[in-house]
Copies of this chain bind each other. A is one copy, B any other.
Amino acid sequence: MAKPKIRLFVEHGLNVGNSVPLTQDQAHYLFGVMRLGVGDQVLLLNSRDGEWRAEVVEAAKRRGVLRCDVQTKPLQMPPDLWLLFAPIKKARTDFIVEKAAEMGAARIVPIQTDFTNSERIRHDRLQSHAIEATEQCGGTYVPEVAALSRLDRVLADWPADRQLMFCDEARVGPAETLADASKGPWAILIGPEGGFSEAERNRLIALPFTTPISLGPRILRADTAAVAALTLWQSALGDWQ
């Protein structure tokens, strides 16, 4: 039997024979949009128990129940990598969250910088994008979207053992690379489209846990820079090796 194509994130525990109730939205999607019915199969993930095949055992317009059958993939945690980025325009912000999930970041941290205007984010919406992207890309762990925080506070509370890849578009001179960098917890910092302020740059460069990295001779949009930086990190230190 072909593997089911639809993948759904659920909160429930996944194990042999477990019943998994659907939310209204999920029931509408499966039965109203995708036209599934009793006996059809989907794949489930919950960020804890890997991926499971499940069968529809009850299907109504706004509710439904699945029954877990067999594990189809173990839990594959992404590397311990955070993506810090400064949200600006809605569509680009959505893209950055989607890309971070696809690329295998474990945590997504929206930050306010000197050149960021946004006072708030739609957190639920961003978390939904992370869920959809994980369902789509075959991952088994949905990265957590953190609350919006000020960059200076995030740096003041920085965990002692976490290194920071600082993507510095104003960087002059030879770039560092990740070739000799050590593994362990990392974070990537992408600036807003106006870049970082002089004060922020000076502070970031002076921090002991920071590695400034160049993303080439052209100025990248923030969403492009996020994917490029995640690629450099994943291929040098992460799970692409």
Tell me whether A214 and B240 are in contact (CB under 8 A): yes
A185 within 8 A of partner (CB): no
Tell me whether A224 and B227 are in contact (CB under 8 A): yes
Tell me whether B136 and A221 are in contact (CB under 8 A): yes
User: Contacting A216 at CB < 8 Å: which of B136, B221, B240?
Assistant: B240
Tell me whether B137 and A219 are in contact (CB under 8 A): yes
Binds B, one of A147-155, A196-204, A228-236: A228-236
For A140, the closest partner residue in chain B by CB is B218
A4 within 8 A of partner (CB): no
How many whole Å from A183's CB to the nearest CB in chain B?
A: 16
| Given A231-B227, A235-B232, A102:B221 Cβ within 8 A | yes
A215 within 8 A of partner (CB): yes
What CA separation (Å) do A227 and B239 show in the bound complex? Answer: 18
Contact mask A98-138 → B, CB, 8 Å, 1/0?
Answer: 11001110000000000000000000000000000000111
> What are 17 A-B pairs with beta-carbon distances under 8 A?
A102-B218, A102-B219, A102-B220, A102-B221, A103-B220, A104-B216, A104-B217, A137-B218, A138-B218, A138-B219, A175-B240, A216-B234, A227-B227, A227-B228, A228-B231, A231-B231, A231-B232
